Each structure stands twice: as structure tokens, then as C-alpha cells.
Amino acid sequence: MEIRPSIGAATVTVTSSPAEVRNWQVGQLLNAVAVSGSERGQVTLRAGAATLSAQMPLTVKAGQVFTLQVISLGNQPVLQLLTETPQTDLYLAILRNALPRQGTLPPLLATLAAAASSSGRNVALPNPVLQLVRALFNGFSNHSDAASAKGLKQAVDDSGLFLEARLSRQAGSNTSTSLQTDFKAGLLRLQNLLRETNTAPNPPSRGATAPAPSNANAATTANPAAAATARAAAALLSATAELQAARAIAASGRSTPPPPTAPASAPTTSSASSEVRQAPPMMPPLHETIPQPQARVAALLQLLDSPARLMANLLSQVDAALARLNLNQLASQKSDGAPRQVWLLEVPIRRDPGVDVFHFRIEREQTGAKRQTEPERRWNIDLAFDLDGLGPVRARVGVVGEQVATTFWAEHGHTTELFRQHLGQLQDRLRAAGLTVTTLSCKDGSPPTAAAPRAHGVVDERA
């Protein structure tokens, strides 16, 4: 393989022939991390699972990240080095590539849960694919772990937003970081396996992944929330889980939780003739996007018996999830001179027999001087979720130092009343976590939103 000489181009030869190279597509963008550095330009790059030996006309340091674009395929595919491309052009190229392909997570999570929770005899998936599906499903943080500050930070770490940053740190420090539970890494492994499997259809060209560059600041801060913010968010998730359980108990007319009657089964599935709760259209994640609740949807039962349809459906859902993850990464890029840093991420939390999506927007900004040499940081968290029995719920949490202010909005009146009845318990938990509560309330409806973000040139309006 070679990169033809041009502005910023380099010659690359492949030391091995992994399957991922055969799956590359024209126009696809690749993130490559330098495993070793060299002043003479001879370096080893890792692009996904492929290891490339590269001759580059510049000094390279271990951990340095490059962006490559596939120009042509064949026995010697041609790549273009985009490192010298203006950042705005690269941003728009990735944005245009991912926007038409992105899709919400609930359809994929429903398919993973239905396949992973089955015995395997009723799912038309090759065994290697089924095993990887189960590993991906079981790698999600469960709701009890996410109720602690440590568990929530791990769930955020594994959301896939920081995969490239973690790989970069690993390459630069000679340490090994486990990525077995990283969501994006798992999706990439599943995507590659689906494409390698003979029964899987060849994906269309628009299904190629376009990994977005990871945030440079995120590379040094894999867990963006400060300790107080993590404690506040964990207390909120813990209280929400208990509210959901209380709602379920009230709906059943019991005063205590019902005893288990059978092991948890696969999530509800639907046939073509029955009503299916489909994922509603949703705004793609852009820098100013406010998190939206994402309810669980039903997996289509008939797909489990059709190998070709199930493989095609699963691959399409994986491609859409990866495109959405790339948009989250792109939205989390910090502009030079910007007064704040934003992380936009969607965290899957397993609560058998399915998976819930908690949509976060975490913002860090400087509010003033705590001391002359230490600025005070303000953390703002927007959170949205849609749990069975509660319906769509949104929350805004503000943390400055050890002070926390929280407001909930619920679309269902019974949920608003349920939250208000338990605000005292949440306040006690926040205080027990060492936080001073300044505001704690729950309102009907949705929070006020800012004006819709501008497209920043994504669409050329000229005829």
C-alpha cells in the first residue's frame, strides 16, 4: 500500500494483511495512531486493528494521531494524509459523512439484548457473531454500578467517546489499557466481524465508518466530571432507579416489591403484524444539542429466524450507532479560545432484560477566581432518559465547588408528583455525598431550550 506523494502525503507499506484493510471503502476516513516515533519518518501506525509501517516526511512522536482518507482500492490502496487539511474542512467532511448515516441507539440495543438474552438456538447468527454480541451486551455497566460515583465514571469512560484518546495514551506510555468494555471498540469489532462473515451482505458505500478525531483535552481527561459532579450525578441516577421501582410497585398495587417468578427473559419482541414502539426521529448530536430522552424499542421477532435479514439489520444498526458516536466526538471538540469545554455522550446502562440510554451533555466553564492562581470551575450537566413507568425525564445539574443545584422536568404528571415526593430523599443523599444543595425541584413539561444551532456550512445553499 502506498500514499502517493502530494501535499502532506506519505508512503505506507502494510506489514500484515488484516481483514479490516479489505473492508476499507473509497472516501472512508481513518484515524491512525503512531505506535512508535521516529525523526527519520519510519513509523508504525495503528489504524483500527490494522498495523501499518509508514514512511512519513515529518518527525513523528509516539501517540500522535493522523487522519487518512481512502482514495482508491485494489492490491495497493491509495490513502491521502489529511493532517495538513484545514481543521474546518476536515470537520465538515466528517460531519457530511456521518449525518446521513447516524441513528439513535435504542434499535441496536434492542437487537443486542434480544440476541444476547436468547439461548442461541433461536437466533440466526453465526456463533462467533453471537458470542461477540453477548460480550458487547454484557460489557454495558449495570444500573446498580452506575449508581455510584466510581461506577458512573467507568460507564462514561466506556461510552466510546474517549476510545482514540485512550489508544493515544496507551501508545505513548507503554501501558496496556483494557478496551473490552469500550462501546465504540466493541461496535468496531462487531462491524468488522459482520462484514467478514460470508452470510453478511456487502454494506453500501455510505455505511463506511468515519471516525471523528478525539478531543485533545479528553485525551488528558478521560473522566471529564470532577469528583463533586460525579457524586451528584451518581446520586441522581440512584434515586431515579428507586423512583422507577416505586412506580412499578404502585402500578401493580403492591406495598412491597413482588418476588421473582422466573429468570429475566429476553426483551419484548414483536412480529411484523403487531404494534412496535419505533424510535422517533431525533436531532443528531451537534455541539449545542440538548439531550433528548430515548425510550426502549422492541426488537423485531421475525428477524431472529432469518440469517440474511438479521445480519443486514444488525450491520445497518451498528453503522448508524458508529456514525452517531462520531458526531458525539465531533461535538465534543474544543475550539481554540473557547471559554468552555463540552462533552456530548450517550451512555448505555444495562437493566435486565434490556438497556436504557442516558443522554448527557457535560459542560465545564470558568466562573471566576477561587484563589489568585486557581480558577473556580462550574460544571453543568444536562441529562435525559426515558424509563419504563416514568416516561421522558430531563434534568439540569449545576455544580460549583461543593454546591449543587438540580431541576427535573417530567412530561407525565404522575412522574412529576413521584419525583416531588422523593426530593427529600435525594437531598439527603446529596448531603451525605458532601454536597451543599442550593436548589432542588421538579417541574412539568420540558426545560426551556436555546435557539437551534446553525449548520455551520454543512449544506451549500448555492444552486
Question: 79-114: per-residue pLDDT in tens?
Answer: 667 654 455 666 777 788 888 899 999 999 999 998
pLDDT tens-digit readout, 296-342: 998 875 666 677 888 888 999 999 999 999 899 888 887 655 667 88
Closest CA to 48 of 211, 157, 165: 211
Mean pLDDT of all residues belonging to the chain: 73
- Strands 269-270 and 299-300 come out as parallel
CATH topology of domain 11-85: OB fold (Dihydrolipoamide Acetyltransferase, E2P) (2.40.50)
Q: Of 69-78, 240-249, 301-310, 373-382, which gets the smallest average pLDDT?
A: 240-249
**Percent of the chain scoring above 70 in pLDDT:** 61
Neighbours of 328 (CB within 10 A): 26
**pLDDT for res 43:** 74
* Summary count for the chain: helices (H), strands (E): 12, 15
**Distance between CA atoms of 236 and 233, rounded to whole angstroms?**
5
**pLDDT for res 117:** 81
Cell of 364: 465545564
pLDDT tens-digit readout, 334-386: 765 566 788 999 999 999 889 999 999 999 876 555 555 555 678 999 999 99
CB-based burial of residue 119 (10 Å sphere; 0-12 exposed, 13-18 middle, 19+ buried)?
Answer: exposed
Could you give the residue range(s) of every CATH 2.40.50 domain in the chain?
Answer: 11-85
**pLDDT for res 33:** 80
**Distance between CA atoms of 204 and 9, rounded to whole angstroms?**
28
Please state the rounded mean pLDDT for residues 428-442. Answer: 93
User: Grid coordinates 435525559 are at which residue?
Assistant: 384
**pLDDT for res 119:** 57
**pLDDT for res 236:** 66
CB-based burial of residue 214 (10 Å sphere; 0-12 exposed, 13-18 middle, 19+ buried)?
Answer: buried
**Distance between CA atoms of 348 and 355, rounded to whole angstroms?**
6
Identity of residue 182: D
Identity of residue 258: P
CB-based burial of residue 108 (10 Å sphere; 0-12 exposed, 13-18 middle, 19+ buried)?
Answer: buried
Cell of 360: 448527557
Cell of 297: 424499542
pLDDT tens-digit readout, 1-55: 443 333 334 445 555 556 667 777 777 777 788 887 765 556 777 777 677 776 6
DSSP string, 277-310: -PPPP-----TTPPP-------EEGGGGG-HHHH
**pLDDT for res 294:** 94
**Percent of the chain scoring above 90 in pLDDT:** 31
pTM exceeding the 0.85 threshold for the entire prediction: no
User: Grid coordinates 426502549 are at which residue?
Assistant: 296
The H-or-E segment that residue 212 falls in is: none
**Distance between CA atoms of 245 and 239, rounded to whole angstroms?**
10
What 3-state class would DSSP assign to 197?
coil
* Phi, psi (deg, nearest 5) at residue 98: -90, -30
**pLDDT for res 387:** 93
Question: Measured in Å, how far apart are the chain's first and last C-alpha atoms?
Answer: 39
Closest CA to 30 of 76, 75, 65: 65
Q: Which residue has the higher pLDDT, 73 or 444?
A: 444
